[in-house]
Amino acid sequence: MEDTLSREIIYEGRILKLRRERVRLPSGREGLREIVEHVGAVAAVVMRSDGKVVLVRQFRKPLEREILELPAGLIEEGESPEDAIMREIKEETGYRPGRLERLLDFFLAPGFTDARIHLFLASDLVEDEQSPDEDEQIEVVTLDLDDAISRFGSEIIDAKTIIGLLMAKEC
């Protein structure tokens, strides 16, 4: 346990909030915690009936490069995780899943943030039209699961995508 002694909001932004807390450590001493509050996100392994997985390639400013990821996005106000992932899959890939299962919820980096991902498996896909956010440039990439996994460390380098593909492989 670490009791909060004082709390200071440093920044309140669009997708995140930064706060700093002085805490009482188990040793009895005081410590400092820097914590990023995040709105929460959803992601899905989108699986076609031919066994191929539908990924998206996009530029990520924090990494200054393009990477290949699961379709994913932030949960908007008033949305359930299920609503959010159905919307994101449709926007980013054009597919509408007939079946949606929860795979796992997890935290991305508990050392400094409460950022959490709700991970789904989406299948029974109906093809529709991609309708990306005007400000997103997203390329849909469809791969065999093993081909996708062979790209770990090169094009596929983010936690949610690695977890989703490894869990799909286990299923």
3-class DSSP state of 136: coil
Per-residue x/- track, 60-79, a second copy (CB under 8 A): xxxx---x-x--x-x-----
Stretch that binds a second copy, among 76-84, 85-93, 112-120, 121-129 (CB under 8 A): 112-120
* 169 close to 145: Cβ distance less than 8 angstroms: yes
* 97 close to 70: Cβ distance less than 8 angstroms: no
Among residues 15 and 83, whose Cβ is nearest to a second copy?
15
Active site (annotated) includes residue 92: no
- Report the distance separating Cα 166 and Cα 55, nearest Å: 14
3-class DSSP state of 88: helix
* 89 close to 44: Cβ distance less than 8 angstroms: yes
- Report the distance separating Cα 36 and Cα 26, nearest Å: 22
Residue from 83, 110, 146, 171 in contact with a second copy (CB under 8 A):
110
Residue from 124, 137, 139, 144 in contact with a second copy (CB under 8 A):
137
The reply to whether 41 sits near a second copy by the rule CB under 8 A is yes
Residue from 5, 9, 16, 171 in contact with a second copy (CB under 8 A):
16
Stretch that binds a second copy, among 16-24, 46-54, 78-86, 93-101 (CB under 8 A): 16-24
Which residues are catalytic, by number?
A: 134
